[in-house]
Amino acid sequence: MKKAYFDCFAGASGDMIIGAFIDAGFDFLLLEKELAKLNIPGYRLSREKCVKKNISASKFYVDVSSGQHHRPLSSIIRTIDQSDLHPVVKSNAISIFNILGTAEAFVHNTDIETIHFHEIGGIDSIIDICGAAICFHECGIDTAVSSPLNTGSGFVKTAHGMLPVPAPATAEILKDVPVYSSGIKAELTTPTGAAIIKHYCSNFSPLPDIKTESIGYGAGSMDLDIPNVLRLFIGADTLSLTADDEVSEIEASIDDMNPEFYSYLFELLLAEGALDVSVIPAVMKKNRPGHILKILAAKEKSENIAGIVFRETTTSGLRINIVRRKTLERKLFTVDTKYGQVRVKIHRINGDPVTVSPEYEDCRKAASEYAVPLKEVYREALIKAQDLF
C-alpha cells in the first residue's frame, strides 16, 4: 500500500505540494498533459531546480496571462466536472474546492453558492488543486499523513486587505488540525495548501512507519531563515494489510436506569471522542433485566469518558481494559449524485476496496431534501462510488 508523508516544517502551499511530487520523480510532462484536459487557456507551466538554505528543491510555476478573471465556485466546479480528467481526480479536486468555499463563506458571512473567490478563484489555484489531485492519483497514494503545519505569523496582503496570519480562511480550514507558529513573519501555509492537506491526510503526526522509496522537496517563493521547502516522503506502508493499535475498553453493568437516558448518554460519549458505544441486554444479579454498556476510546480519553459515565448513569463502578484492535484503512471520498454530494467511506486491504459505505447523515439529508426514499440515495451513491473504483 503506497503512503505519502508531508513534512510541513515551513508550511504548505499548492505549488510546494506539486513541486515536492515533481522533485520526488513525478513526470512533469504527464502533469502538463493531464492538466490540459481542463481546457483552460491563458497559462504556462514550468519547473526549475533551486536551492533553499543548502537544500536542493523543485519550484513549480504557473505563469498566467493578463486579463484573467476570478471565478465563482459553481464555475470552477463546472469546469472540473466537464473536463476529461479521471473521475477520481475530479472528485478529489471538487472536494478540495468545497473545503475552500465553505471556509471562505463562513469567514465572509455569506452563502457558499454566492461567494466570489479572489485569491483561490484564479487559474493558478485551479491548476494547483487539480495538479495535486493528479499527482496523488497517478502516484497511487493510498494513504497520506502530515506533520503539524507551521502557519507563520504577522500579516499578509490579500484582495480583502491586510489580514493576520494564518489568514482567516486558512485558520477555518485547519480546525481540528495540529498547527503551530515558529515565529517567522510570513504566510507559510496558504488556504490552498491547507485545503489539500486537510482533504488527503488521514492523520497528523511525526514521521510514521514507512519504507521510503523517494523523497522530494517542493520550494516556496520566499527566502526565509529556514529552508522554505515542503518535504515529501513516498513509500510503502509497513502495515500493508491492517493497522494495529491499543484502545481502552470501558464497561459498566446497569440495571436500574431509565432506558430513555441512553440516547443522551451516547451523544455525550461520541462528542467526547468515543470510538464506539454499544448496549447489550443482560440478566443481572437477583435475576433483574439490565444492560452492559461498552465503550471503546483512545487510552488518553479514558478518564473523561469514565467521568461522563459516572455522571450520567446509575452505575457505581467501571471496568477498564486495554485491548488490541486491528482496523482496515479507511478514507472518505465525496461523490456527486443527482441528489447532491454524498460522502462515501471506503475500507481497503492492500489498496483494494473491500467495503463501500455511503454516509448516513448525507443520505438522510438528501432523501429529505429531494423527497425520495433513503435507499434510493444510498443506491445512487454506491453506483457513483463504484464508478470511481
Query: What confidence score (pLDDT) does residue 330 get?
Result: 76
232 burial via Cβ count (<10 Å: 0-12, 13-18, 19+): buried
319 burial via Cβ count (<10 Å: 0-12, 13-18, 19+): exposed
pTM over 0.75: no
Q: Decide: 318 and 303 in contact? Cβ < 8 Å.
A: no
**DSSP H or E run through 21:** helix 14-23
Buried b (16+ CB within 10 A) or exposed e, 5-38: bbbbbbbbbbbbbbbbbbbbebeeeebeebbebb
The string of pLDDT tens digits covering residues 93-108 is 999 999 998 998 888 7
Query: What confidence score (pLDDT) does residue 207 get?
Result: 92
The string of pLDDT tens digits covering residues 315-370 is 999 999 999 888 887 777 888 899 998 989 888 776 677 888 999 989 999 999 99
Q: Given pLDDT bands bounded at 50, 70 and 90, which one contains residue 156?
A: confident
Query: What confidence score (pLDDT) does residue 273 get?
Result: 86
Query: What confidence score (pLDDT) does residue 195 get?
Result: 96
- Highest averaged pLDDT of the listed ranges 86-95, 213-222, 261-270, 320-329: 213-222
CA 250/CA 295 separation, integer angstroms: 5
Q: Given pLDDT bands bounded at 50, 70 and 90, which one contains residue 74?
A: confident
The string of pLDDT tens digits covering residues 6-58 is 999 999 999 999 999 999 999 999 999 999 999 998 899 999 999 999 999 99
Query: What confidence score (pLDDT) does residue 219 get?
Result: 98
Percent of the chain having pLDDT more than 90? Answer: 68
Whether residue 382 has pLDDT greater than 50: yes
Q: Given pLDDT bands bounded at 50, 70 and 90, which one contains residue 277?
A: very high
Mean pLDDT of the chain: 90
Task: Report which of residues 34 and 244 the model is more confident about.
Answer: 34
**DSSP H or E run through 62:** strand 55-64
Q: Given pLDDT bands bounded at 50, 70 and 90, which one contains residue 240?
A: very low
Query: What confidence score (pLDDT) does residue 238 get?
Result: 66
**Other Cβ atoms within 10 Å of 67 Cβ, number:** 6
3-state secondary structure of 41: coil
CA 64/CA 76 separation, integer angstroms: 16
Query: What confidence score (pLDDT) does residue 119 get?
Result: 46
Whether residue 286 has pLDDT greater than 90: no
Lowest mean pLDDT among 57-71, 74-88, 129-143, 276-290: 57-71
Whether residue 120 has pLDDT greater than 50: no
* Domains present along the chain, CATH in parentheses: 2-236 (no CATH), 243-327 (3.30.70.1380), 329-388 (3.10.20.300)
State how beta strands 43-52 and 289-297 pair: unpaired
Q: Decide: 120 and 191 in contact? Cβ < 8 Å.
A: yes
Query: What confidence score (pLDDT) does residue 65 get?
Result: 82
- Residue that has been written with the C-alpha cell 496558504 in this structure: 190
Whether residue 1 has pLDDT greater than 80: no
CA 120/CA 127 separation, integer angstroms: 10
**Angle between the 87-107 and 73-81 helix axes, to the nearest 10 degrees?**
180
Query: What confidence score (pLDDT) does residue 116 get?
Result: 59
CA 220/CA 106 separation, integer angstroms: 28
- Could you tell me which residues come within 8 angstroms of residue 375 by beta carbon, excluding any fewer than 6 positions away? none
**Other Cβ atoms within 10 Å of 306 Cβ, number:** 17
Secondary structure (DSSP) of 147-185: PPEE-EESEEEETTEEEESSPHHHHHHTTTS-EE--S-B
CA 122/CA 133 separation, integer angstroms: 17
Percent of the chain having pLDDT more than 70? Answer: 93
Query: What confidence score (pLDDT) does residue 68 get?
Result: 63
| Structure-block grid coordinates of residue 89 | 481526480
CA 80/CA 62 separation, integer angstroms: 18
Lowest mean pLDDT among 14-18, 20-24, 297-301, 308-312: 297-301
